[in-house]
Amino acid sequence: MLLEHFDVLIVGGGLSGVAAAFSLQKHCPHKTYTILEARDNIGGTWDLFRYPGVRSDSDMYTLGYSFRPWVGTNALADGSSILEYIRRTASENGIDRKVRYHHRVTRAAWNGAQAQWRIDVERGEQRQLVQYTCNFLFACTGYYSYEEGHSPPFPASDRFAGAIVHPQKWPAQLSYANKRIVVIGSGATAVTLIPAMAKTASHVTMLQRSPTYVVSAPDRDRVVDFLRRHLPMPLAYRLIRWRSVLFGIVFFQLCRRYPVAIRNFILRGVRRALGADFDIASHFTPRYNPWDQRLCLVPDGDLFKAIKAGKAAVHTGQIHSFTRHGVKLQSGEELPADIIVTATGLNLVVLGNIELVVDGKIIDPAKTISYKGTMYSGVPNLGSVFGYTNASWTLKCELTCDYLCRVLNFMDRSRRRVCVPLNEDPSVVPETWLNLSSGYIQRSVDRVPKQGSRRPWKLHQNYLLDLLMFRLSAIDDGVLRFSNPA
C-alpha cells in the first residue's frame, strides 16, 4: 500500500534523526519530510539501553547539540538525562510531531527514471507492508543492530544455574542486590555497569580477556561552572564546546605521536587511584597503544573506587567454561556468580540492514567507497550519519546533516534531481573504513564500506578538517555528479 511522498525521508528517530530534522527545518524549510522510527519512542540508543549506570562515554558539551546547550551539571550524563534532553529538543522544535513510530524500513529501491526512492516499511506489530516514496533518503540508523548484541557462545553456558544477561536486553525486573556478579568484558559498557551494580550487589567481578585503557575524568568541571556563572549561556556553551573539541583533537594527536608517553601518563593515573600494590601490569595495561581502541572514561574514578573499596575486582584470563555456580577459567580458577553479564559488545551493521536496490541491482555496501563519510559510491540521493571514532558522535553528525542540506539546496538552485558520488580516479585505493582495532569493528570489516586513500573519499577523524570540508568545499566538485532523469 503506497501511502505518501516526501522530499526527504529520515530513517531513525535517535540523536542523529533529530539533528537531521533540525537541519532540514533550518536550512531547507521548504522541504517536506518525515521520520520513520522502528521503535515505539524517540531517542534511539538512549531509549534502548536500560542497564544500570548507562551513561555517555563522551562529554555532553560535544555530545549535546550545538544549537541547544547542555545545561546539566555532569559532563558524563546518565542515560535517562540524555534521553530527556533528546526528547525536549524534538518537542521544542516540533520534530516529535514528524515521527511515525513502529515503522521498520526493510528495503529502499531507487528508480532512476523517476528519480526517487520507493521505501518498503513494516508497520505496527502486525508488520503490515506499506510503502513511501521520497526524493532523498537520509539514514540515521546508527551503527549497530538494535535486534541483539554480540553474544559469543560460551562452553557449557546451559549449565549455569543463575541468570545470563546481555546489557542490550536488560530485564526490567532483574534484582541483583546482594548477589555475586561476573561481568564479562572490559569496554565502556562493562566499566559503566560495574560501579553502578557494586552499590547494592554483594560483589562484582570484571572478567576480561585483555585490559583496556581506563581514564578517570571529573564528573563536574569547575571551568564550566565558572563560565556559566559569568557569561551568557550561549557564549559560555560555545566556549565550553570548543574547549572540549580542541582538547580532544590535541590529546588524540599526542596519543598518535607519543604513544609511550601517553601510555605512561594514563597508567600513572591508574596507579594513583588503586595504589602501588595493585597489579596494574596485568589488569590495566593493554597490549595496544592509546586510541588504537576507544578509551574508557570513568567519572570521578568510580570504577577505581569500587575496586579499592573491595566491592569490585578485576580478573584477566581466558574462559574455559561456565559451571553451575559461575565461570571456570583456563587457569583452573572458578569465579562464583549468581548473575553473569555478557558485556561482549555490539553487532555493527550498515544502514540499519536496509536492503538497497538501485535500478534493479542489489547494492552491497561493502563494495562501495564512502564519500566524505556520508554518501556511497554509485548510490544516488542517499546520505547517512556515522560519528567519529575518536570524538563524540554529534560533532560529525551535525556537520553531515548541514552538508546534506547544502547538497539539497544546490540541487534546487541548479534544477538537478539526482546526485551520486562516482570514483573514476584510478589513484584512489580502497582502505579499511574505520581505524580502530576494537572487536566489533574487526568482526565487521567484510560487511562495511571502504574509505579511499585520497579526498574526498578519505575519512579524517578530525573535526577541524571536516569543518572546512563540509562547510567550505565546493558542492559540485567533479566527484559528486548531478543530473536529471532522462
Tell me: the pLDDT tens digits for 246-264? 999 999 999 989 999 999 9
Q: Any bridge partners for residue 482, and if so which?
A: 419
Ranking 70-74, 103-107, 284-288 by mean pLDDT, the lowest is 70-74
| Three-state secondary structure call for residue 462 | coil
Average pLDDT (314-336) is 93
Cell readout for 168 is 542490550
For the chain, the distance separating the N- and C-terminal CA atoms, rounded to the nearest angstrom, is 27
DSSP 8-state code for residue 348: B
DSSP result, 42-107: S-THHHH--STT-B-SS-HHHHS-TTS----S-SS-BHHHHHHHHHHHHHHTT-GGGEESSEEEEE
The pLDDT value recorded for residue 257 is 92
Relative orientation angle of helices 233-257 and 259-274, to the nearest 10 degrees? 110
The pLDDT value recorded for residue 143 is 84
Residue 126: count other Cβ atoms within 10 Å of its Cβ: 8
The pLDDT value recorded for residue 445 is 67
Check whether 117 has a pLDDT greater than 90. Answer: yes
CATH topology agreement for domains 2-147+348-483 and 157-342: yes
Q: How far is CA 162 from CA 327, 330, 423, in A?
A: 11, 21, 54
Average pLDDT (63-74) is 90
Average pLDDT (212-237) is 88
Check whether 436 has a pLDDT greater than 80. Answer: no
Average pLDDT (145-167) is 90
pLDDT in tens, 350-386: 888 899 999 999 999 889 999 999 999 999 999 999 8
| Three-state secondary structure call for residue 203 | strand
Q: What's the pLDDT band for 440 if we cut at 50, 70, 90?
A: low
Within 13 A of 102's CA, how many CA atoms are on the CB side? 8
Helical (H) or strand (E) element with 235? helix 233-257
CA dihedral 149, 153, 157, 163 (to 10 degrees): 0
Check whether 481 has a pLDDT greater than 60. Answer: yes
Average pLDDT (15-32) is 97
The pLDDT value recorded for residue 428 is 85
Average pLDDT (321-344) is 93
CATH homologous superfamily for the domain 157-342:
FAD/NAD(P)-binding domain (3.50.50.60)
Q: What's the pLDDT band for 1 if we cut at 50, 70, 90?
A: low
Cα–Cα nearest to 432, from 460, 451, 457, 454: 451
The pLDDT value recorded for residue 146 is 87
Residue 381: count other Cβ atoms within 10 Å of its Cβ: 23
The pLDDT value recorded for residue 454 is 86
What amino acid occupies position 162?
Answer: G
Relative orientation angle of helices 463-472 and 393-414, to the nearest 10 degrees? 10
The pLDDT value recorded for residue 345 is 85
DSSP 8-state code for residue 169: G
Q: How many helices (H) and strands (E) does the chain have?
A: 13, 25
Ranges of each domain in the chain: 2-147+348-483, 157-342
User: Residue 42 — φ and ψ, nearest 5°?
Assistant: -85, 155
- Burial tier of 235 (Cβ tally within 10 Å: 0-12, 13-18, 19+): exposed
The pLDDT value recorded for residue 435 is 66
Check whether 479 has a pLDDT greater than 80. Answer: yes
Check whether 153 has a pLDDT greater than 60. Answer: yes
Percent of the chain with pLDDT over 70: 97
CATH architecture assigned to 2-147+348-483? 3-Layer(bba) Sandwich (3.50)
- CB proximity list for 161: less than 8 A, separation 6 or greater: 324, 325
Biggest distance spanned by C-alpha atoms of the chain: 74
Q: How far is CA 374 from CA 355, 370, 420, in A?
A: 17, 6, 12
Cα–Cα nearest to 463, from 404, 397, 408: 397
pLDDT in tens, 42-53: 999 999 999 999
